Structure 1
């Protein structure tokens, strides 16, 4: 998992008006501090599974609510949220597979 994924999601949410800036994205969509992405970048690490799970759940929640709204703009936004949720879910799945496929875990 890479910080680039979070930056991509942040940029998408900014472009559709769901967030205004990075601190808001980190706090409202990842459940983290406003400097979360900056910290990840400085430490050369990727996002936590927990942050991705929080974001995925929130994207799914709002995609469903937007679909219930029914108008064209809401449906397009719901589709965009669904695509971002899929990216989160794929990153979580990749991380999970790396963990269970680790050689020291295969012997248990």
Structure 2
């Protein structure tokens, strides 16, 4: 899983006003410390599945809260949040499949 996914979600949420900056995004949307993305970059690693799951859940939660609204701006938010959640869900699914398809696990 790539850090680029988190950076894309962060940029979308910052540009739309749902997060003020990277530290707030890391704390509020990922449930991590404010330096989480910086730490990933320094270690050359990607986000954990748990982090993506937390982010996906929160994106879905707010999309569901707005889903029944008739307001055009709320409908636009639902589309944006659903799209970002799908990106997280897809990354989680890819990781899960890579784990169960690993050669040492295929014999079970």
TM-score tier by shorter-chain length is: over 0.9
Task: State the shift of 1:105 in Å.
Answer: 1.1
> Please, what is the CA RMSD of the aligned residues?
0.7
- Tell me the distance in 1 between the aligned counterparts of 2:50 and 2:74: 27
Note the alpha carbon deviations across 1:48-100, whole angstroms, 9 max, x for none: 00000000000000001122332000110110000000000000000000000
Normalised to the residue count of structure 2, the TM-score between the two structures is 0.97
Note the alpha carbon deviations across 1:25-57, whole angstroms, 9 max, x for none: 111111111000000011111100000000000
Gaps of 5+ in 2: none
The aligned runs of 1:58-73 (5 Å cut-off) are 58-73=58-73
Normalised to the residue count of structure 1, the TM-score between the two structures is 0.97
Work out the number of aligned pairs and report it: 108
